[in-house]
Amino acid sequence: MKRNNVDVLEWTLAGYTGESLSEEQDLINQELTYDGGRLIFQDYGVIIAEPEQPSGKDVVYSCAVHGDETAPIEIVRDMIHSIMQGELKPVQRTLFLIANPAAIAINKRFVDMNMNRLFNGAHKKGSTPEHKRAANLEHYITSFYNDAPKGQRRRFHYDLHTAIRDSQYEKFAVYPFTHGGPYKKEQLTFLAECGVETILLNQAPTTTFSYYSVRNHDADAFTVELGKVRPFGENDRSKFAAAETMFKRLISEEELDLPEFDANRTRIFDVCRTINRTVEDFTLHFPDEVANFTAFEQGYLLATDGSKEYYVEQAGERIIFPNANVALGQRALLTVIDMPVERLKLV
Ligand SMILES: O=C(O)CCC(=O)N[C@@H](CCC(=O)O)C(=O)O
Ligand SMILES: [Zn+2]
């Protein structure tokens, strides 16, 4: 088999889980050339497209921070395969990350620990393989961005996910905490062109991958929820077509010509409450079928955490990311409220 026919996902899983690979099939530390650049296989699930004459953007696409979120894995895998086949020719430096191969291998969200709670140094508090991989991923991103001094090239990171539940708005993105900084019209427009027309504004620092890149590398970074979790082979790829097109355009065009920002296009929600599970006895008081962004009446009992009761406080409060099975100390539910786009500080 020629090296450029190797399946990068199979290679990543085999290499990461210690399966033996023939010399021809092992891409580790190998390079393949494409018209205009090189594809470098730095580690299992860590692949860099390095153009000979890079344009002004350094772009990171990550998937599988949650191992069972297969659509983003297929999207990232297929972008890499398109480069290997000579169909996609990045002119922007691009780092592709298949974040948690061990969790993919067992079709689970994670093995020991939710990896999206382990960034921003949180990985230092433990020694599971997920802690180690999160530390390594931070290291790979740092060395990728540090190729040029801060400010010389623009930095982007789209951390691709799919959600556990149905959602009233199928695609949405989390805009990590900006520490008071403005929100970027260009990024809202790019996401809208990807079909992501709903945005959650996070109002506090987190240990997520996207916030890590914002905070440490001044990147425009987002957690992008592209739909609902499904097993491999059950994703309707036509639903991701707009996003896939834009992801490819971002790295293969010198300048991305986006439409004017349209304030009516994007629906904004402000995160108003984070409800953590602190004890074993934690209950959500609505069924599993309730979709993300469902609104409840004021006074509705949403959750009990031991003896603490959480009621809907404001009219229009909606639930998002409910999960009663998270580890103690972790977020079990967010609530959000509509925010008129006119109230956003935009740049
Ligand atoms: O579908 C769910 O309930 C969870 C979806 C999910 O994993 N969301 C991310 C959001 C990350 C962020 O807030 O930026 C997560 O919880 O890690
Ligand atoms: Zn996820």
Q: Is the CB of 189 under 6 A from ligand 1?
A: no
Q: Which backbone phi and psi does 325 adopt, to 5 degrees?
A: -95, 15
Fold (topology level) of 272-343: OB fold (Dihydrolipoamide Acetyltransferase, E2P) (2.40.50)
Residue nearest to atom 17 of ligand 1 (CA): 116
pLDDT of residue 85: 96
Q: Which ligand is nearest to the CA of 177?
A: 1
CATH topology of domain 3-252: Aminopeptidase (3.40.630)
- Pick the ligand that lies closest to the CA of residue 228: 1
Q: Which ligand is nearest to the CA of 165?
A: 1
- Nearest-angstrom CA–CA distance, 226 and 229: 9
Q: Which residues are catalytic?
A: 225
Q: Which residue of 158, 172, 208, 211 sits with most ligand 1 atoms within 8 Å of its CB, as the best mutation to test the pocket?
A: 208
Residues of the chain where predicted confidence (pLDDT) is lower than 50: none
pLDDT of 1: 64
Which of 169, 178, 223 maximizes ligand 1 atoms within 8 Å of its Cβ, making it the mutation to test the pocket?
223
What's the ipTM? 0.96
Span 119-174, pLDDT tens digits: 999 999 999 999 999 999 999 999 999 998 888 999 999 999 999 999 999 999 99
Query: Where exactly does CATH 3.40.630.10 map onto the chain?
Result: 3-252
163 lines ligand 1 (CB under 6 A): yes
**Residue 7 burial (CB < 10 Å; 0-12/13-18/19+)?**
middle
Ligand 2 geometric centre to CA of 254 (Å): 30
pLDDT for 4 equals 85
Between the CA of 100 and the centroid of ligand 2 the distance, in Å, is 11
Q: How far is CA 241 from CA 71, 181, 226, 235, in A?
A: 11, 31, 11, 12
Ligand 1: atom nearest CA of 117 is 17
pLDDT attached to residue 213: 98
Please report the atom of ligand 1 found closest to the CA of residue 222.
14
Domain(s) of CATH 2.40.50.630: residues in the chain: 272-343
Rg of the chain over CA atoms, in angstroms?
Answer: 20
pLDDT for the residue numbered 149: 83
Give the global pTM.
0.97
